[in-house]
Amino acid sequence: MAGAGTDDTPLRPLERVLETVLYVDDLDAAERFYGGILGLQRVSRRDGLFLFFRLRRQMLLLFLPEAAAENRALPPHGARGPGHVCFEIPEAELDGWRAHLERHGIAVEHLQNWPGGGRSLYFRDPAGNSVELAPASIWGLGEG
């Protein structure tokens, strides 16, 4: 590990993002989109503050930015403007996802053919965040 390895107490390299955060302006709309259309498992919601989803080994945390910035229980955060997230899908399911989104009235904004192979599907969540579905192969990462 580049950084920690130079110290007396070697630390294991960071291997996983545990919490990915996006900011939204409407928790109801976000729940319909991420829970209903994308099918993520909701684990917690506090009206006026947050909505949390669980993936297999990670969390997606959605916050109202003004509330997260004023929350005194934990270090404040809160960004404005469109963020971006990409969820992994199997390469073979991209067309199925496109059809699924269109059936739910979600416009596909862009379909990217990557030079090294693989395709990404881009669309927007109700808050305007850029959401992407892509196979891990676009980064040279194996599936699984």
Binding to its own copies, residues 80-109 (CB under 8 A): 80-90, 93, 96-97, 99-100, 103-104, 109
Q: In the complex with its own copies, which residue's Cβ is closer, 4 or 47?
A: 4
CA 38 – CA 51 distance, rounded (Å) = 15
Q: How far is the CB of 43 from its own copies (least distance, A)?
A: 8
User: Residue 69: is it exposed, middle or buried by C-beta count within 10 angstroms (0-12/13-18/19+)?
Assistant: middle
Among 40, 69, 87, CA closest to 50: 69
Q: How far is the CB of 6 from its own copies (least distance, A)?
A: 9
Among 42, 53, 19, 29, CA closest to 128: 29
Give the DSSP letter of residue 36: I
Report yes or no: 105 and 126 within 8 Å, Cβ to Cβ: no
State which of positions 2-41 bind its own copies (CB under 8 A).
Answer: 2-5, 7, 9, 11-21, 23, 35-41
State which of positions 102-141 bind its own copies (CB under 8 A).
Answer: 103-104, 109-110, 112, 122, 124, 129-130, 132-134, 136, 139, 141
Report yes or no: 27 and 34 within 8 Å, Cβ to Cβ: no
Q: How far is the CB of 46 from its own copies (least distance, A)?
A: 15
76 lies in the site for its own copies, by CB under 8 A: yes
Q: How far is the CB of 108 from its own copies (least distance, A)?
A: 10
55 lies in the site for its own copies, by CB under 8 A: yes
Report yes or no: 82 and 94 within 8 Å, Cβ to Cβ: no
Q: How far is the CB of 117 from its own copies (least distance, A)?
A: 15
